[in-house]
A and B are shown apart, each in its own frame.
Chain A
Amino acid sequence: MNEFLYFAIFFVLCALAVAVRLIKGPSVVDRVVAADSIDILTDIALILFALYSGRGIYLDIALVTALLGFLATVLISKYLEGTL
């Protein structure tokens, strides 16, 4: 049971490492891709934490985060193209 928590901490550390690219990315596209990756890593960590704690409420948060991350990426790319 305990190893799920260690895996979740590992994914959170990966998300923190990706945040370096979010801060210093040279173009705006790098920042959007890094934000999307942080979103997905947060999803994975939330799934693992839900398995660790045995509560389904964290899965709802992961579901909403997945949907909103997809919408944000598509909207930002449409805005950058100028076709929004």
Chain B
Amino acid sequence: MTLRIIINVLFGFGAFFALAGTVGLLRMPDAYCRMQSSTNIATLGLLLVVIGGLLYTIFVMQSWSSSVKILVIGIISIVANPVASHAICRAAYRIGVRPEKEMVWDELKEGEKNA
């Protein structure tokens, strides 16, 4: 019973972070802010559900194949999401998307000028 309460609290926090990411994705002013806010869904929203699902599959369902699959999903998302965010942010800069306010320091431009 205590385990079920812990799992439900984990899922509730995951749902809260997914809701925060969704609201940020809809309400933020420019593309970079929306990118930053969508990271909420990918990190804490997914990882809390993965941890809760691991607890449930190990201790309640007692199914090792399901727990290994959930663990692999979590590891893949931890490794893959920073790479995807980096690539899409760089592409946004390259195709000319700029923040709403003026940038005070542009390190990528300086680096490409020196190179």
Contacts and interface: CB of A to CB of B under 8 A. Distances in A.
Question: What's the dominant secondary structure at chain B's contact region?
Answer: helix
Contacts of B95: 28-29, 80-81
Interface in A34-67: 34, 36-37, 40-41, 43-44, 47-48, 50-51, 54, 56, 59-60, 62-63, 66-67
A59 B57 CA distance: 12
Interface in B2-29: 8, 11-12, 14-15, 18-19, 21-22, 25-26
A44 B41 CA distance: 10
Contacts of B90: 77, 81
Contacts of A51: 53, 56-57, 61
Contacts of B69: 56, 59-60, 62-63
Interface residues of B, number: 46
B32 to A, nearest CB: 9
Nearest to A3: B8
Contacts of B35: 29, 33
B49 A44 contact: yes
A70 B94 CA distance: 20
Given A11-B18, A14-B19, A33 B80 contact: no
B73 A18 contact: no
B115 to A, nearest CB: 15
Residue with the highest number of chain A CB atoms closer than 10 Å, among B14, B18, B42, B90: B18
A50 B73 contact: no
Contact of B26 (A21, A44, A48, A67): A21
A66 B76 contact: yes
Q: Which 8 A-B pairs have the closest CB atoms?
A: A77-B91, A70-B80, A77-B87, A59-B69, A73-B84, A80-B91, A29-B92, A77-B88
